Amino acid sequence: MGIPEYWIVDYLGLGGVRFIGNPKQPTLSVYQLIGGEYQVQQFRGSDIIKSSTFPELNLTAEQIFQAQK
């Protein structure tokens, strides 16, 4: 479908270890379409989110997780 970027926000850290790592913790995964394949960057806690779709975004993963509450 050619979607250039999508996000998966696992604010409870319930995803599989294969997807969010070990130990499990809240994780924001940003998938970017590069050369016809998706590459993932993961952000946790105070990591500043990097996005080619939103280059001026200035939020941390924790700020996204807090928005849920």
- Parse the chain into domains and list their residue ranges: 5-63
The per-residue pLDDT for range 8-43, each reduced to its tens digit, is 999 998 888 888 888 899 999 999 999 999 999 999
pTM value is: 0.86
Give the confidence band of 69 by pLDDT, cuts at 50, 70, 90. low
Contacting residues for 39 by C-beta, under 8 A, at least 6 apart:
31, 32
User: Do 5 and 51 touch, CB atoms closer than 8 A?
Assistant: yes
Residue 68 clears pLDDT 60, i.e. is over it: no
Give the confidence band of 59 by pLDDT, cuts at 50, 70, 90. very high
Q: What letter does residue 58 receive in the DSSP assignment?
A: -
